[in-house]
Amino acid sequence: MTTSSTGSAEGRPHLQVADPVRLRAAAEDDAWTRFSGAASVEAFCHGWLAVTCIRAEAADGILVLASPEGKGFVPAAAWPDGRRDRAKLAETIEQCLAQRALVVAPFGEGRQHIAQPVEFEGQLLGAIAVDVVLRQDRELQTLSRELAWGAGWLEALLRRTLGSREAEAAVRLRKVFDLFSAALEHHGFVPAATATITELATMLDCDRVSLAIIEGRRPRVKALSHTVNFEKKSELTRAIEEAMEEAVDQKATIAWPAVAEGDGFVRRAHERLVQTQGAKGVLTVPLVRLGETVGALCLERNRPFETADNELVEGLAALLGPITEIQRDAERGPLARAWQVMKSFWFRFFGPGHAAWKLAGAIAVLVVLFFSFATGNYRIAANTRIEGAVQRSIAAPFEGYIREAAVRPGDIVKSGDLIARLDDRDLQLERLKAASRREQLVKQHREALANHDRTQIRVIGSQIDQAEAELAIASEKLSRTELRAPFDGVIVSGDLSQQLGAPVQRGQVLFEVAPLEDYRVVLKADERDIRDLEVGQAGELVLTSMPSTRLPVKVARITPVSTPEDGRNYFRVEAKLQQGAERMRPGMEGVAKVTVGDRKLIWIWTRYLMDWARLELWWLLP
């Protein structure tokens, strides 16, 4: 329907007011035109939102999509254009994203906000919210279907975009594999580097790709693409090295012309390289390994490098840096590797950066200086064993059998206490036999006296003396069947409680007894320390059973005979206890430290190492 107003009598033209239906149709046609001709994702989103809002008769609308970095959602389009207060609409769309469902919220008098999520294969990719006139349930259901139908266009765009990204990622991955296969299939650093950068030049349509290694503090070109031999001091090589040095000093990827204006990087060397060589695009990327720059890549071609090219080369450089350094290390000899390690440490301690290494080096120097001038108490440590000052052995007085064992090792005995008893039955019979024979001879001697037979008297008298001697021997043996303690002490060895009735030989040691109050300390001194030990030196002893008690000792004797043990030679050093302990017993072991005197701390801790070095030098030198 069209309304018109008639002009004045002078015949002014008629003014016509357009029909709202026709205006809406024209706006929708315009939106469809922009939507169908969209050449970018941004234009597609704006056109799609305009079509959706016009079809829904919305007064306002916004579209949000997931950010490419995966950090929340960002606005992708708004309709109509121009600044508006869309705070309430944004709250509705946030509620929709949180619930992942259709949200309807009242807004003012006679209006409402409707938000619809956009999902793709179960993944929430965004949402659309519109401001419309208040509607009934049936109209609201129709609008919801319209929004869901319109979201299908957006899902198609996202599916196509994700598919293109996956295809692009697959192409890049294949390029990476091709590049590294070229790097690893050659022996030697230069052939492998040449093949790698040649493959990279072909991959990115470059006229020339150069690879340099940091020597000293400057990059030196080691390989050029499509070239085996080149002049290392030519003008071209120097220009490339200056461009690489510019990127290495700034620790950044430098492109000419700049991809982003105003990035603040210096490009003077790159500009000179472009002017002298005629290239229209130069890209230089440092090669880094473990945070340290080891080289650089310089790419030249007849068109500028784009952002995608920069990202691809930076990713390749991040992997080429370690591979390049590993190949160089494999070609170095032992001396070259040692020199490289020394240079690396020198650079870390005296070059720029590496604050932690410098701090550690300063602390190490201070520690070495401190211990080089500070002195300490030099003491010689040795494993120690406690022995009795007098150790008495109790042996079997004759051949016999064990009848009784009254003590065992560790028992304390008094002088005269019974220790063991031997079987005396045979000795009792022998004594009885000797006594009976003596009585018989006495009778015969009396008869000879009565008969005044002098010859017989003398013979029988000699036999009586012999019988009395045998009787005395038997009695003496009987007295020795009881083995008693010779003095107050402790049983050190000898356990016959499990050998009752066992035979013993004459002179066999059955027990060892040591005094309780008198000990000697036996040190096993290493032959490397024996030169510093002298009689009279004091020290301290700590026993394994009494680790909290320190007992003073004094060196009494150094035996000049060594004993091999565990691959080392040890000397027996005897010391005297200056103060005993109530719980001390012979046989206890511990560690004794003998004080020698004050020495430099660094000498105390390195003396064994220095002695070993002197011996090795003496062995090796003619």
Domain borders along the chain are: 20-164, 186-331, 392-511, 518-620
Q: One fold for both 186-331 and 392-511?
A: no
In this predicted structure, what is the pLDDT of residue 11? 41
The CATH code that applies to domain 518-620 is 2.40.30.170
Residue 622, SS3 per DSSP = coil
The residues near 251 (Cβ < 8 Å, ≥ 6 apart) are 286, 293
Q: In the block, which residue shows the tokens 């005396």?
A: 424
For residue 379, pLDDT over 90 is answered with yes
In this predicted structure, what is the pLDDT of residue 570? 92
For residue 227, the 8-state DSSP code is: B
Query: Which pLDDT tens digit goes with each residue over 452-470?
Result: 777 887 888 888 888 888 8
For residue 592, pLDDT over 90 is answered with yes
For residue 4, pLDDT over 50 is answered with no
What are the b/e assignments for 548-574, b being 16+ CB within 10 Å?
A: eeebebebeebeeeeeeeeeeebbebb
Average pLDDT, the chain: 78
Residues of the chain with pLDDT > 90, as a percent, come to 8
For residue 492, pLDDT over 80 is answered with no
In this predicted structure, what is the pLDDT of residue 7? 41
What's the average model confidence in pLDDT over 136-144? 71
Classify domain 20-164 at the CATH superfamily level. GAF domain (3.30.450.40)
Q: pTM (2 decimals)?
A: 0.41
H/E stretch holding 576 reads strand 568-577
In this predicted structure, what is the pLDDT of residue 158? 60
Cβ–Cβ contacts within 10 Å for residue 530, how many? 17
For residue 557, pLDDT over 50 is answered with yes
In this predicted structure, what is the pLDDT of residue 173? 53
Q: Minimum mean pLDDT among 23-37, 225-239, 397-411: which range?
A: 23-37
For residue 217, pLDDT over 50 is answered with yes
Q: 321's torsion region: left (phi>0), alpha (psi -120 to 50) or beta?
A: alpha
The residue among 583 and 175 whose pLDDT is bigger is 583
Token reading at 285 = 């990327």
The residue count for the chain: 622
pLDDT band at 15 (very low <50, low <70, confident <90, very high): very low
Identity (one letter) of the amino acid at 344? S
The whole-angstrom separation of Cα 85 and Cα 78 is 12
222 φ, ψ (degrees, to nearest 5): -115, -20
User: Mind giving me the DSSP string for 564-575?
Assistant: EETTEEEEEEEE
CATH architecture of 392-511: Beta Barrel (2.40)
Q: Does domain 186-331 have CATH number 3.30.450.40?
A: yes
